[in-house]
Structure 1
Amino acid sequence: MSSIFIDANRKQIAGRRRIDFSLKLLFLVATSIGVIALMALLIDIITDGIHMIRPELFNNFPSRKASEAGMKSAIVGSLYMLLIMTPLSFLLGVGAAIYLEEYAKKNRITRMIQLNISTLAGVPSIVYGILGLTLFVRELHLGRSLLAGSFTMTLLVLPIIIVSAQEAIRSVPKSRRDASYALGATKWQTVSRSVLPSCISGILTGVILAMSRAIGETAPLVMIGALTFVAFLPTGPLDSFTVMPIQIYNWVSRPQASFQELAASGIIVLLVMLLLMNLSAILLRNKYNKHI
């Protein structure tokens, strides 16, 4: 009787091991397909565009001649948009997260607000473009300006920043708050001197990753009417502008092979910028984690 039981147990274990091996192999194949496809795209882009990475690409404005075309206005426009977006998104997003986690009462209204914020984080970006077109371009009469584009992209990243900042604030142990209150600190002193320093790495990581998403978005800016051909630099927040994804889209839409190569070089520049932003998020997180 015991031998039958042992044999059945062995067969069961062997079956589980076969299932485990099969699932592991399936996951490995699925991961390999994604990595191989990504590597193929990167190799194709680098092969087409690496020889177009030259000083003229950064110093020249867009042109109808591929040999003279550059993306100076698009690079500067993207940087200007980030300069407006980043402080605005940080203040509004982190402020909302602090209020919802530390000050707001946990009732039905708060839960409804939280549900709406989480839902907005997954809304397609084109919806924010329509909202920006209606609110900023038409109602506030900002036109196709850098300010309208920055406000629209701020709306796009706000739910992401709020959710990531809330998760970072929740990760702070309750004992740290209790210790601050025991020493006679007020609510704001506890939040500003105990909670925020403990979770600032997570907050900054979420903000930088949200900015890296915004810098690669095209649909919302196309909806508000950002120009595809700008041969000047914006001198103020109400000037017309363009950004790197729109300039790349303009080059890709042209049939000439030389413009396709220019688009590939622009993609390489944009990828490098995104990788640098992601790297800075990792470095900031590691730096602040060492001081906690």
Structure 2
Amino acid sequence: MELILTHLLPLIGAGLVAGFLAGLLGIGGGIVTIPVLVLVYRQIGMPEEWLMHIAIASSLTAIIATNTSSVLAHHRKNGVDWSIVKGWWFVVAAGAVLGSFFAKGLKTEELVYFFATLASLVAIKMMLPFDRWKLGQALPEGGRRYLAPGLIGFFSAVMGIGGGSFSVPYMTLYSVPIHRAVGTASLIGLVISVSAGLGYLVGGWNVAGLPSGMAGFIHLPSAFTVAVAAVLMAPVGAKVAHMMPKTALSIAFGIFLVVATIKLVSGI
């Protein structure tokens, strides 16, 4: 715990940025916090074999608090489409649990490259004007409507993110208004973070060699620090989301992803 105290500033900073972006863009913030957590964990001597697993699990735990705050803020502005989540939640949850157990079988290096690949794709999406592209005027019906939510849950759990980076563009491609997609993504992210967090908790419970302060793969002190900072900023991001266009911020966020990904990969 005393080692974490010496790294409070980067953890708090990551939490503040993650919380703001969670409210603003409907993302869980893990794509911001994971590179920071990896750097902090390396400095405090976390076992390299499980480094990325711990960062992902701890990020998901913090996202629970972040998305709860974001959902409440968007709900007050009528920005959450509960009907979408009602039809998706069980498939998203199942995908997230499967993703968490799949990730346990990967090495830290493999997880880093998996994260980097998907983060790069998200960065491209954020920096280019894809919001005008449409695949339909309404979300798919029938059995095929479950494919995308299941994949969103699975890949989000492997990456340790809340899923908004995937669910927001997916919903907007099917003509869900951007502000409503952002609010709804916060609720989807809450389902993902709870489900995947439980998966990482169970998956890491009997792993030998983990330090104190752990619950499975979750490092409780750092997860708590990030969560508190993020909760403070999520309502601010949600308020701003309903006041401004997101083009400039999306480009800036995409650039951040590129820089964070390069830093993460170069540290292997």
Output the TM-score relative to the length of structure 1: 0.25
TM-score for the superposition, normalised by structure 2 = 0.27
The higher relative CO (CA closer than 8 Å, separation ≥ 6) is in 2
